[in-house]
């Protein structure tokens, strides 16, 4: 078990050498869980392995000893360790790995709106977005939890809907999914054709159709002042707008 937060220490580690493609992340995950170390591990774009680790000082020392060697097929040429402040993680997770699909549809139901669907443990969890998503971190968008959806609902088979965006996503944050959703604060990274980078869903009420906020995080993909819905209205499947779909149906 991890030490209480008050006594936790934390480090950031950068490992270089033959450290990618050799099972380093999976082995680090197992070792961290054995020691009660919390945080994350991910592959860097330059061939390095990046790690944030927090826990008791003895547990961190043993974890760093493991990092100096790594799994059997690894060859660690250098290890940089920097003390940092604990972030309060409740898990040790592999970052940068797809957690499943996401889909954003625009459709004309009773009220015209968008919905965001995230694949969580084999089902699509959905939030209705009355004004659509945003890439502007200064703009928070209302998101209404509409619960699990049929996987087929992510397809463009409804004559009154288009698939506005789609792709894969990564789960993030300090709390494991789906518990993060149950607690009301879920952090994730989208890899779509229009939506990219970090986002968060923050619950603001616990009514039957709970209200949340969809928030774009301030990262390299953020576009302050932009209106991605107005700028990119076409379906990513059929390259038509919802207005064109509706006019074809009534024409």
Q: Which of 165, 168, 171 is nearest to 201 (CA)?
A: 171
Least reliable range by pLDDT among 43-52, 117-126, 145-154:
145-154
Helical H runs in 98-158?
A: none
Share of the chain above pLDDT 90, in %: 80
pLDDT in tens, 15-32: 999 999 999 999 999 999
Average pLDDT, the chain: 91
Q: Which of 228, 210, 233 is nearest to 139 (CA)?
A: 228
Is it the case that residue 144 has pLDDT exceeding 60? yes
> What are the CA-CA distances from residue 35 to residues 60, 102, 147 (Å)?
8, 34, 36
Residue 41 — pLDDT band, cuts 50, 70, 90?
Answer: very high
Of the residues 31, 43, 125, 196, which is catalytic?
43
pLDDT in tens, 93-114: 999 999 999 999 998 877 889 9
pLDDT in tens, 176-193: 999 999 999 999 999 999
Q: State the CB neighbour count (10 A cutoff) for residue 201.
A: 21
Active site residue 158: no
β-bridge mates for residue 128, sequence order: 115, 144
> What are the CA-CA distances from residue 230 to residues 91, 131, 163, 175, 234 (Å)?
39, 11, 15, 34, 10
Q: Which of 128, 104, 102 is nearest to 190 (CA)?
A: 102
Residue written as tokens 């309060």? 88
Residue 2 — pLDDT band, cuts 50, 70, 90?
Answer: very low
Share of the chain above pLDDT 70, in %: 92
CATH of segment(s) 5-94 = 3.30.70.100
Question: Phi/psi class of residue 99: alpha, beta or left (left: φ > 0; alpha: ψ in -120 to 50)?
Answer: alpha
Return the pLDDT at 154.
Answer: 52
Active site residue 140: no
The domain limits of the chain are 5-94, 100-250
DSSP states along 69-106: H-STT-EEEEEEEEEE-----S-EEE-SS--EEEEEEE
Is it the case that residue 58 has pLDDT exceeding 90? yes
Return the pLDDT at 1.
Answer: 33
Paired tokens of 237? 């499947």
Peptide bond preceding 178 in cis form (omega within 30 of 0): yes
Return the pLDDT at 209.
Answer: 79
pLDDT in tens, 61-70: 999 999 999 9
Of the residues 25, 105, 125, 166, which is catalytic?
25
Look up residue 18 and give its DSSP letter. E
| Orientation of helix 57-69 relative to helix 24-35, angle to 10° | 160
Return the pLDDT at 104.
Answer: 96
Length of the chain as a residue count: 251
**Between residues 147 and 196, which one has the greater pLDDT?**
196
């Amino acid at each position: 078990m991890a030490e209480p937060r008050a006594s936790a220490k934390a480090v950031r580690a950068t490992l270089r050498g033959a450290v990618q493609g050799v099972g380093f992340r999976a082995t680090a995950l197992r070792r961290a869980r054995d020691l009660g170390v919390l945080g994350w591990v991910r592959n860097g774009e330059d061939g390095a392995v990046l790690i944030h680790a927090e826990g008791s000082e003895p547990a961190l020392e043993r974890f760093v000893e493991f990092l100096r060697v790594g799994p059997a097929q690894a060859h660690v040429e250098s290890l940089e360790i920097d003390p940092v402040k604990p972030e309060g993680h409740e898990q040790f997770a592999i970052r940068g790995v797809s957690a499943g699909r996401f889909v954003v549809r625009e459709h004309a139901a009773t009220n015209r709106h968008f919905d965001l669907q995230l694949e969580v443990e084999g089902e699509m969890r959905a939030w209705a977005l009355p004004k659509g998503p945003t890439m502007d971190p200064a703009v928070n968008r209302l998101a209404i939890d509409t619960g699990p959806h049929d996987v087929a609902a992510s397809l463009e088979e409804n004559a009154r809907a288009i698939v506005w965006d789609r792709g894969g996503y990564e789960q993030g944050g300090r709390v494991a999914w789906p518990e993060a959703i149950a607690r009301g604060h879920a952090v994730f990274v989208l890899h779509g054709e229009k939506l990219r980078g970090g986002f968060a869903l923050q619950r603001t009420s616990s009514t039957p159709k709970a209200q949340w906020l969809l928030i774009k995080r301030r990262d390299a993909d953020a576009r302050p002042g932009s209106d991605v819905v107005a700028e990119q209205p076409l379906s990513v499947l059929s390259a038509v707008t919802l207005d064109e779909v509706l006019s074809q149906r009534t024409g």
